[in-house]
Amino acid sequence: MPNISPAGAVRVAVTVDDFVLWDGLPMPDGITPLVITKSLAATLADHGLTGIYGFSHTHRLEADPGLMAAWESWIEAGHHLGNHTHLHAPLRWMSGDQYCADIDKAEGLIGSLIELAPERYFRYAMDMVGETETKHGQVEDHIRASGYQNAPITAWFSDFAWIVPYYRAVVSGDQDAQRMLQETYISSAIEQLAAHAELARKLFGQDIPLIWLIHGTTIAMDTLGAILDAFTERGVEFISLREAMTHPANFGMAPCNSEFLRNHLQRYAMAAGIPEPHLDPQLFGQVMTAAPLDGYDSVPVYEEGMLKPLAQRAGATYDWTW
Ligand SMILES: [Zn+2]
């Protein structure tokens, strides 16, 4: 089994975002945010990982206050919570004032649970820090004044892409598609971790502690154990978010850009003129079109169900690019 890094062990802090998933995405019968949260929390603990930070936006609490049970269950399993805004809008879709108020709104809803964590971490929605340093700076000043530190993402694998295809495969009982989606999900987690580690070595001359993201989805619930095992077999040493945050690559600020879905490490790469890792477009296409089901084509479900209503709530003009 080749190591993630040819240079030796790679330190990885696992983080889980949006275990109460974005409004408007379908879930198979019997699968709820609470089921997913409990499962992921238990899988992590079974692998010896406790004190894992979960960053889940709070918007769905407005319509369904009972979902608070998901946040509570995360803590009951021995993990910690951070602030991930209320609406989960990209900062470029809001003014600095709006975005700061949105952070405060999340604080009002789950602040008493965030309080229980040893450190106060904030994570930008989609790790998007805005299109200008002025706006980014305004938000940074606000989170600092609120006692938070930004916990960026320095390794991810576009795991959102599997959500709708996996829903289709599960509800239609297409086991071949489910297997293909699970296999590609796991292999992409491994390959993208290796690609982010390689990018970090290019940028910083050595391996850095990576802050890895997985979302609270149905397919994550079904594969997280296998992914953690695969990481361990490939030389990953799991560390706390606090330890990862002591590295300047993580606590420093990469220059802003206005692209959608570029994480903190990818922003360093863009500033340095180095190509940043992305999921292979052919694989992305294979995943997005798997297990076709009438009325559930991937792009319309993500756009009409989730992204356009989100832009509307944020008062923004919809301008998403994939
Ligand atoms: Zn998120």
3-state SS assignment for residue 14 = strand
Report the CATH fold assignment for 10-314.
TIM Barrel (3.20.20)
3-state secondary structure of 118: coil
10-17/53-55 β-pairing:
parallel
Cα separation of 172 and 190, whole Å? Answer: 28
Q: What is the dihedral of CA 88, 269, 283, 183, to 10 degrees?
A: -80
Q: How far is the CA of 23 from the centre of ligand 1 (A)?
A: 12
Q: What is the whole-number distance in angstroms between the Cα of residue 20 and the centre of ligand 1? A: 10
pLDDT 10s digits, 19-43: 999 999 999 999 999 999 999 999 9
pTM strictly above 0.85:
yes
* Distance from residue 58's CA to the centre of ligand 1 (Å): 10
Distance 2 CA to ligand 1 centre (A): 31
Q: What percent of the chain has pLDDT over 70?
A: 100
pLDDT band at 100 (very low <50, low <70, confident <90, very high): very high
CB atoms within 10 A of CB 120: 19
How confident is the prediction for the chain on average, in pLDDT? 97
Share of the chain above pLDDT 90, in %: 97
- Give, as residue ranges, everything with CB less than 5 Å from ion ligand 1: 17-18
Three-class secondary structure of residue 43 per DSSP: helix
For tokens 């802003």, the residue is: 256
The pLDDT assigned to 112 comes to: 98
Report whether pLDDT(233) > 90.
yes
**What residue segments make up the domains of the chain, in order of their start?**
10-314
Question: 241-298 pLDDT, tens per residue?
Answer: 999 999 999 999 999 988 889 999 999 999 999 999 999 999 999 999 999 999 999 9
Which residue's structure tokens are 């609490």? 61
85 CA from centroid of ligand 1 (Å): 9
Distance 1 CA to ligand 1 centre (A): 32
